[in-house]
């Protein structure tokens, strides 16, 4: 399916594991089908929520192949192919394109970081080498660096860079890049709690952790706002804001996988260095899920 900057909710999929740490492909199939049944507008695999830093390249490729096969063109599949090594990012991007990915998510180079020109070349070189759309991923809380506004401005003019997942939580930053948004460059919230504020400045929706738990609700919030039903969207957003925030009471994806396991969705454990939710937070999350009518 061609990726045309859809307006909606794109789920940042978890990766379900078995107790022995292996990928649970049966559970992954069920979770993907659950998303599609709930009218999720797109699937992101191998994002932060999918625990890709703890998986081998071979596992990454197997998960991508399985996801593309199960989804079977019903919604776009976006694959996180980013790396802090530009040549590795190019290699993985070409591989996932050839496997049938509809778009790619490219994170800013973490740990080694980069100056503005190096940051620009990191993204542009990858976009030059593939034929499917590329989305920038700005998440300084994870990477230790933000994509400079000037670099976003330059990259927004690249014919194969079609948008950004903005996960800094900084509305001032979002406002500074809002003028880049248009038919050829989309803005997606990477933070569920500020989806509507970002849509108010031209955003197309959210790449969502919350959608793992309540995919239909997340889809409807974005759909309502895009259709002009702002009051209804805001009402639903505020109704579930406590749960959205609760899914970040510890580092993502620990809380969301814990919530899914409580709901019987078989997300399985995390891989180290991530581990189970603390007892205090487990009790708080369970109470929040009950309050939301999910338990």
* Residues acting as catalytic residues: 137, 165
CA 197, distance to chain mean position in Å, is 18
In angstroms, the CA 204 to CA 225 distance is 10
Q: Are 224 and 236 in contact (CB under 8 A)?
A: yes
CA-CA-CA-CA dihedral for 239, 232, 187, 259, to nearest 10: 30
DSSP the chain: ------SEEEEE----B-TTS-B-HHHHHHHHHHHHHTT-SEEEESSGGGTGGGS-HHHHHHHHHHHHHHHTTSS-EEEE---SSHHHHHHHHHHHHHHT-SEEEEEPPPSS---HHHHHHHHHHHHHH-SS-EEEEE-HHHHS----HHHHHHHTTSTTEEEEEE-S--HHHHHHHGGG-BTTBEEEESSGGGHHHHHHTT--EEEESGGGT-HHHHHHHHHHHHTT-HHHHHHHHHHTHHHHHHTTSSSTTHHHHHHHHHTT-----PPTT--PPPHHHHHHHHHHHHHTT--
């Amino acid at each position: 399916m061609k990726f045309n900057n859809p307006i909606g909710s794109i789920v940042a999929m978890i990766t379900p594991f078995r107790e022995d740490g292996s990928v649970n492909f049966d559970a992954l199939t069920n979770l993907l089908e659950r998303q599609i049944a709930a009218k999720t507008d797109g699937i992101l695999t191998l994002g932060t929520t999918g625990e890709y830093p703890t998986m081998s390249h071979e596992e990454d490729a197997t998960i991508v192949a399985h996801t593309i096969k199960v989804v079977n063109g019903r919604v776009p599949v976006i694959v996180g192919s980013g790396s802090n090594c530009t040549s590795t990012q190019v290699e993985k991007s070409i591989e996932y394109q050839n496997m049938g990915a509809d778009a790619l998510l490219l994170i800013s180079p973490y740990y080694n970081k980069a100056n503005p020109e190096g940051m620009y070349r990191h993204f542009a070189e990858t976009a030059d080498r593939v034929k499917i759309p590329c989305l920038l991923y700005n998440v300084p809380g994870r990477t230790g660096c933000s994509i400079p506004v000037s670099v976003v401005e330059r990259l927004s003019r690249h014919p194969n860079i079609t948008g950004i997942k903005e996960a800094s939580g900084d509305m001032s930053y979002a406002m500074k890049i809002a003028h880049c948004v248009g038919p050829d460059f989309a803005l997606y919230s990477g933070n569920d709690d500020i989806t509507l504020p970002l849509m108010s400045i031209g955003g197309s929706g959210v790449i969502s952790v919350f959608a793992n738990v309540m995919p239909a609700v997340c889809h409807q919030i974005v759909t309502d706002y895009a259709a002009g039903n702002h009051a209804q969207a805001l009402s639903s957003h505020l109704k579930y804001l406590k749960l959205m925030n609760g899914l970040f009471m510890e580092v993502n994806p620990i809380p969301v996988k814990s919530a899914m396991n409580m709901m019987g969705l078989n997300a399985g454990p995390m891989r180290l260095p991530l581990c189970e939710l603390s007892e205090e937070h487990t009790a708080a999350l369970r109470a929040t899920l009950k309050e939301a009518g999910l338990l």
